[in-house]
Amino acid sequence: MRIKTETLNSRKTTWLLVGAGAAMVAGRLVERGLENGWRAVKHEDPPEFSRKRGESWPAALAWTALSAATVAAVELAARRGAHVGLRRLTGKRPPANL
C-alpha cells in the first residue's frame, strides 16, 4: 500500500509541475503577444498604473480586462494540451482532484 501511495504522490507532483510549467510558459508568451499587439494597434505602450504618466482609466481597464481574459484562456488551453499530451505519451490520465 505504501508503494502505491508514493507512486500516486509522485505522479501528482509530476503532473502539477508539467501543468503549471505549460501554463506559465503559455501565459508569458501571450503577455508578450498582447503587448506587441497593443503597440501595433494603438501605436503606444500598454497602459501602466502610474499616476505620473496620466493614463486614462478606460484604457487601463480595457488593457487589464483584455490581458487577464486572454492569459487565463491560454493558460487553460495549455493545461488541457498538457493533459492530452500526457495521455498520448503514457496512455494514463493525470491524477484526479488536481
Q: Domain for residue 32, yes or no?
A: yes
Number of domains in the chain: 1
Out of 9-13, 53-57, 62-66, the most confident range is 62-66
pLDDT at 3 over 60: no
Higher-scoring residue by pLDDT: 17, 49: 17
Q: Domain for residue 59, yes or no?
A: yes
Domain that holds residue 72: 24-46+55-98
pLDDT tens digits, residue range 25-62?
Answer: 888 888 888 889 888 988 888 877 665 566 677 877 88
Closest CA to 48 of 72, 67, 73: 67
CA torsion 51-54-59-62 (nearest 10°) is 0
pLDDT at 86 over 80: no
49-to-38, 53, 74 alpha-carbon distances in Å: 16, 8, 24
State the Cα–Cα distance between residues 72 and 49, nearest whole angstrom.
21
Summarize the chain as % helix, strand, coil (round to 5).
75, 0, 25
Mean pLDDT (the chain, rounded) = 78
Q: Domain for residue 5, yes or no?
A: no
